[in-house]
Structure 1
Amino acid sequence: MSRSALIVIDMLNTYDHPDAERLIPSVREALPHVVGLIERARNDGVPVIYVNDNFGEWRSHHGEIIETTLAGAHRDLVEPVLPDAESLFVVKARHSIFYETPLSYLLSQLDVSHVVLCGQVTEQCVLYSALDAHIRHLRVTVPDDAVAHIHKDLAQASLQMMERNMNASVRKARTVEFSLGAPKP
Structure 2
Amino acid sequence: MTEDAATVTVTTDLTTKCRFGFVPRNAIAGDDVCVTAAARDQAADDNANQNGRHEGDGSCRTGYVFRGITIMDAACVTREVKAQTDRDTADAPNRLNTAKHVWGPNACQDDYVWRMADDSDYVCVPLTTRYQTLDDNAAASGRWTDGPYGPKTCVAGYVWREAFIGDRVCVTPDRREQARVDNDASWSRVRA
**TM-score, length-scaled by structure 1:** 0.29
More helix by share: 1
**Structure number, greater radius of gyration:** 2
**TM-score, length-scaled by structure 2:** 0.28
More strand by share: 1
Higher RCO by CA contacts (8 Å cutoff, separation 6 or greater):
1
